[in-house]
Amino acid sequence: MDYKNAGVDIEAGYRSVELMKEHVKKTMRPEVLGGLGGFSGAFSMSAFKDMEKPTLVSGTDGVGTKLKLAFLLDRHDTVGIDCVAMCVNDIACAGGEPLFFLDYIACGKNYPEKIASIVSGVAEGCLQAGAALIGGETAEMPGFYPEDEYDLAGFAVGIVDEKNLITGADIKAGDTLIGIASSGVHSNGFSLVRRVFRMTEEALRTYYDCLGTTLGEALLVPTKIYVKALKAVKDAGVTIKGCSHITGGGFYENIPRMLPEGARAVVKKDSYPVLPIFRMLQEEGNIAEDMMYNTYNMGLGMVLAVDPADTERVMAAIREAGETPYVVGSIENGEKGVVLC
Per-residue pLDDT tens digits for 130-151: 999 999 999 999 999 999 999 9
176 strand-pairing partners: 306, 330
**CATH number of 10-164, picked from 3.90.1150.10, 3.40.1440.10, 3.30.1330.10, 3.30.479.30:** 3.30.1330.10
CB 171 within 8 A of CB 241: yes
Task: Give the pLDDT of residue 303.
Answer: 98
CA distance 138 to 133: 14
Strands of the 150-161 sheet, one edge to the other: 54-62, 150-161, 97-107, 132-140
What's this model's pTM, rounded to 2 decimal places?
A: 0.95
Residues of the chain within CATH 3.30.1330.10 domain(s) are: 10-164
User: pLDDT of 58-102, one tens digit each?
Assistant: 999 999 999 999 999 999 999 999 999 999 999 999 999 999 999
58 strand-pairing partners: 157
User: pLDDT of 148-170, one tens digit each?
Assistant: 999 999 999 999 999 999 999 99
User: pLDDT of 6-36, one tens digit each?
Assistant: 566 667 766 777 877 888 888 899 988 877 6
Lowest mean pLDDT among 2-11, 110-119, 144-153, 317-326: 2-11
Residues of the chain within CATH 3.90.650.10 domain(s) are: 176-340
CATH architecture designation of domain 176-340: Alpha-Beta Complex (3.90)
Mean pLDDT of the region 188-208: 95
Q: Which residues contact 138 (CB under 8 A, 6 or more apart)?
A: 13, 16, 17, 105, 106, 107, 110, 115
**Average pLDDT across the chain, whole number:** 94
Mean pLDDT of the region 314-331: 98
Task: Give the pLDDT of residue 9.
Answer: 61
Residue 322: burial class (beta carbons within 10 Å; 0-12, 13-18, 19+):
exposed
For residue 313, name the pLDDT band (cuts at 50, 70, 90): very high
Count of other CB atoms within 10 angstroms of residue 233: 27
